[in-house]
Chain A
Amino acid sequence: MHYQESLLWIPAAAFLSVFFVNLIGQRYRRGLSSLAVLFVSQALLTKNLGYIIVLLALADTFLGVELFLSSKVDEKNRAVQSLYQSALSLLPTALGLMLRLDGNSLISCVAVTIVLRLYSWPVSHWLVEISGDNKMFPTYIGIVSSFALWHIQEFLQPELWALVWLSLAFLFGLGSKYTEMYATFSLGLFALSPVLGIASVCLWPLLARPTYTIYLVAAFSAVSGGLLAQSLSGYLAPEATYAFVSLVGAALARVFVATAIVKARWYMVALDLFFAALWIGFLFYTNTLPIPIPTPAGVTFVDSFVFVFLLGKLLYKKKPGFFKPFPGFPPHLFSKEIIGSDLLLERKGASVEMGQSPFRVLIFEALESEGYIAILFGLLGAVLLWGAK
């Protein structure tokens, strides 16, 4: 690990606090989901990538089982589909691990896994239907598991990964949710500076529900984006950098504009703010946060974000179509065909039964006779004579 171990506990604590808060708010308890939360927390505290994958797989299984149990008989196939999708998402990292890749190769594999797990666009999230009213789990499991995979990586070229995450933010900003965009910037920020990355994790409690705390999240996202934008100088030309970060800023702003603010119980919001502040305070207490110096690229990003955000807020009610996310793929595009579990009808193979063909009968009749012996003896004699000479 390239940062202090005490920082390891903050993400786990933040996630558990989210779970604790929402447990209070839920009308009923879900044992399997709780178990999944524990396993994911364990993954946040583990330094071994192999163990993390295993723990995440187990957590996904529990969530898949819960989905299966809670869905109707006709829809149970979706649970199996979800389970497969979650396992498939872990495949790239597992392959990288098995091939003992290191450096950017392994990080690329992890990044692919994160992309498959984090975003609900263009393919709907594998846990989108769980819990009915409570949409928290798909959000948090995607974010937290992505962070669990990311936080143990060794970044030799953090600026490269900042560029990667900014690019992904622009691409997936066309349809993803604000929480996913926030997570994207968190991951990029972590690559640049672990302490700042943990700082973004401290705000996880604020992602639970899109209330007015969304503005805090938006602000932090903008700042994170600006910090990421400042590190692109080594990879892009200045003009390209400004254009690129402007577009990303606009994409990010669109996401926040399109997110409808909902009303929540005051004590829930208070709890969210409390825990967020608690973890931020703990972070400040235990670590010295670096103070980044703004650069033109960073300022461009922030300006672009603020401009589009404000414009969006003004225009959203009149022209909502400009800011709505692009539609993704239909939910069951890849699982349209359903195969019945009934038995196959008997299928007869090619007949190779002996003795049916009249010609074959004749040949075998002839072979059955002693004629073959004469031929065989003749051949044997030839071999013997040849051997004798």
Chain B
Amino acid sequence: MRARIFFLVLAVFLVTGLAVVQASETRLPWVLIGFLGFIGIVVFDSYQEIPKSWTNSALFILIYGLTLQSCLESTPDNFWRDQAGAVFLATILFEQNSLPWSGLGFFRSTMAPSVLYFLLVLAQTLPFFSADVVFGCALGAILLFSFLELFSILRENNDRNSGSFMSAIRSGVCGLGSLFYSATFLPGTAKEAPFVFIRVGLPLLGLAVATLSLFFRQWRRRYILFCCNWSVFVFWAAITGEAPRFYAAVAAFIAGVWTIMMTNRRAADASDTRDLYLKLSAWGVPGSLMFSMIVFALFPSESLLVREGSVLWLVTFFVYWSGLRKFELPKKQGEASAWTWRNSLALSITIAGAGLLAGAKYFPEIITQVLGQSWGVIK
């Protein structure tokens, strides 16, 4: 195990170093963002599932490497191919680490959506497609990957995937890919009709999924849908075309990936307030890191469509929170989860993230100025 952990950490830094060396000035921030996101997965892997086997470790490194490579590509075709590779390997990870299921229902396997994803990626290569169709395929691919876990939501034992490292990897690859695509390869057709209406369409989709989640009586399955929605939320914030919201999307991406890992996967223990706080924080309730990101990403906009989209997102989050209040907090159970340094670090980060709002009066201007100068070449 120790050898695998050492290899894992070394490989992460090695891959990051390679990417940094190859990256140009404009791509270096993306490498750093990707590193921040994925290192969180390694650091907060409380159950040590990634170094549990060489297969998991190797696949994780490959997915991380492909994701970084996709951010270094100069053409959309190569970007999408690398993303498709990361998607495929991530789905293999899902299948490998999920609990056994009956296999009934072909589309309940995560492999089927990964194939569809690659089909959409390849369809973009067809030269006789118009720009609208190409962007439609790209949009379809991003949404498909965002809702990858929705396909398997009715699978047996799938709720155990909630808060797993596979879910975090999916969120990481999807988030970074959608952010990079929005910043670098987004075609002009995305800002014209009919695609300009995705600024309302995506939140509507999120609201529909949130409403769907109310029909699930397990909080873990609802949380899977919440994580899928979070990916769409990050994409939406990036695609609105406003710089501060884009920065908020970047922060939301990192926060989302970290939070999935920081949440203890075992059932909530009502007597352990810290654990319960972390669990509730995973849903973005007020007083959490995710809530700060929600506030930053939903600040008022000049665009009517973005304003309407913000409203829909807020209602979506309320729908998720409304479901939270119904769950019974179990009495103290026999096996209490051990509180480790990872949990302490997670708690500190969550509280610090929540505290960002306390300085909300001053931070946005400071953050915008600092990030704006360093990101000016991108935006």
Contacts and interface: CB of A to CB of B under 8 A. Distances in A.
A84 B105 contact: no
Contacts of B379: none
Contacts of A46: 361
Contact of A341 (B155, B219, B354, B358): B219
A51 interface: yes
A77 B325 contact: yes
Given A87-B321, A338-B327, 10 more contacts: A58-B286, A60-B286, A73-B331, A80-B329, A84-B324, A94-B314, A341-B329, A347-B154, A348-B102, A349-B108
B267 interface: yes
B149 to A, nearest CB: 15
A346 interface: yes
Nearest to A99: B307
Given A76-B270, A84-B321, A353-B104, A344 B221 contact: yes
Nearest to B303: A100
B307 A100 contact: yes
Interface in B39-71: none
- Interface of A, helix, strand, loop or mixed by DSSP: helix
A80 B361 contact: no
9 contacts: A50-B299, A50-B360, A81-B325, A83-B285, A95-B314, A335-B325, A344-B221, A346-B157, A349-B104
Contacts of B271: 73
Interface in A48-65: 48, 50-51, 54, 57-58, 60-62, 65
A54 B357 contact: yes
B329 A73 contact: yes
Interface string B191-228: 00000000000000000000000000111110000000
Interface residues of A, number: 47
Contacts of A374: none
B324 A88 contact: no
B14 interface: no
A340 B286 contact: no
A223 B331 CA distance: 53
B295 interface: yes
Nearest to A86: B286
A343 interface: yes
Contact of B104 (A54, A57, A348): A348
B154 A349 contact: yes
Interface string B103-128: 11110100000000000000000000
B268 interface: yes
> Quick one: which of A62, A81, A98, A344 has the most chain B CB within 10 A?
A98
Contact of A54 (B295, B324, B328): B295
A42 to B, nearest CB: 9
A21 to B, nearest CB: 26
Contacts of B217: 339, 344
B152 to A, nearest CB: 10
